[in-house]
């Protein structure tokens, strides 16, 4: 089933660089074994994944009138993502991600030029026509658009990444209106199951709360009281975990819309994320729906369902 999805988020020119270890040992010069560059960033990642899975995607992003912007536009055009919702700024956002041999990553996003941009509300409102869901990443320029999505009545999904506090001031506007809330386990103040309970108690509009747990897979909470735990999978091994959270989140949203079955959706999303970490560049190895079917048949994972409610 094809869904129409609006994605609001950053698209940057990124470089992925391997390092020997964390913390990085000083060397005046070194020649890495590989190095990758291309369009990346949460908005770009999510849009690429959804497009590969067969969804109709409106990517609302900001790209500069500069050489990096020209490269980004070329890549988006090749992927069918360069549309009227891509707006111009003076300069593009940039980033570097350092990748250790065990796949751990350290991102260095440079977003100053897009953080100052006011994304045109009329362009965003037009993109919402007929949309099944709006994914508004927690990019700074997305914040003023939240009220337009809520007024339009379209469901809202957000990944708040490395959140540490249920009342986090920066992410509060997204948390208050989101129907689907994902995050990483890395900086949570409590175990994932407890976090799910806190999310539902604090944000009554949230229907689904997901936590990416790296090697422990994913935990998904549903408003009806079910707690879903899915073990991790890494069919190709681990090269870089950069973009794994975006893959998990986007693949889940696709499956949830396509089937209405959040448990099946999170099982397949974990497989997609596990496949993605076998590549050296974020979300480079996006899968089609047919490819996910094959992967599921070969190395499918199965959820364990319990309850977060006492």
- DSSP per residue, 175-204: HHH-SEEEEESTT-SS-HHHHHHHHHHH-T
Mind listing the domains of the chain with CATH numbers? 4-22+34-307 (3.40.1190.20)
- Identify each DSSP E strand in the chain by its residue range: 4-8, 12-18, 36-40, 56-64, 86-89, 93-99, 105-110, 133-136, 156-159, 180-184, 208-212, 218-222, 226-230, 304-307
48: tokens are: 């690429």
In the beta sheet, which residues pair with residue 211? 183, 219
Q: In 3-state terms, what secondary structure has residue 134?
A: strand
* Per-residue pLDDT reduced to its tens digit, 151-179: 999 999 999 999 999 999 999 999 999 99
User: How confident is the model at residue 198, as a pLDDT?
Assistant: 97
Asked if pLDDT for residue 283 goes beyond 90, the answer is no
* Per-residue pLDDT reduced to its tens digit, 105-115: 999 999 998 99
What are the respective helix, strand and coil percentages of the chain, to the nearest 5?
Answer: 35, 25, 40
Asked if pLDDT for residue 78 goes beyond 90, the answer is yes
pTM, entire model: 0.96
Asked if pLDDT for residue 12 goes beyond 90, the answer is yes
What's the whole-number mean pLDDT along residues 128-148?
97
What's the whole-number mean pLDDT along residues 53-64?
97
């Amino acid at each position: 089933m094809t869904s129409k999805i609006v994605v609001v988020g950053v698209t940057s020119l990124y470089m992925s660089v391997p390092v020997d270890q964390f913390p990085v040992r000083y060397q005046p010069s070194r020649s890495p074994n590989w190095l990758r560059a291309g369009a990346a960033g949460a908005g770009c990642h999510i849009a690429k994944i959804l497009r590969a899975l067969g969804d109709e995607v409106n990517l609302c992003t900001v790209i500069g009138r500069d050489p990096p912007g020209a490269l980004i536009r070329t890549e988006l055009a090749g992927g069918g993502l360069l549309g009227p919702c891509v707006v111009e700024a003076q300069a593009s956002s940039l980033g570097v991600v350092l990748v250790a041999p065990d796949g751990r990553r350290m991102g260095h996003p440079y977003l100053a030029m897009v953080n100052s941009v006011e994304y045109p509300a009329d362009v965003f409102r037009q993109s919402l026509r007929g949309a099944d869901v709006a994914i508004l990443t927690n990019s700074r320029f997305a914040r003023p658009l939240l009220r337009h999505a809520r007024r339009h009545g379209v469901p809202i999904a957000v990944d708040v990444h490395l959140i540490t506090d249920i009342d986090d001031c920066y992410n509060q506007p997204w948390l208050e209106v989101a129907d689907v809330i994902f995050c990483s386990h890395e900086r949570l103040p409590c175990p994932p199951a407890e976090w799910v309970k806190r999310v539902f108690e604090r944000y009554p509009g949230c229907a689904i709360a997901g936590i990416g747990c790296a090697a422990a897979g994913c935990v998904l909470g549903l408003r009806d009281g079910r707690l879903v735990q899915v073990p991790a999978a890494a069919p190709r091994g681990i090269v870089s975990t950069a973009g794994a959270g975006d893959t998990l989140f986007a693949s889940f949203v696709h499956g949830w819309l396509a089937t209405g079955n959040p448990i099946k959706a999170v099982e397949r999303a974990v497989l997609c994320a596990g496949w993605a970490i076998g590549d050296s560049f974020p979300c480079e190895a996006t899968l089609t729906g047919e490819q996910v079917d094959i992967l599921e048949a070969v190395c499918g994972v199965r959820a364990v369902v319990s309850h977060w409610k006492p």
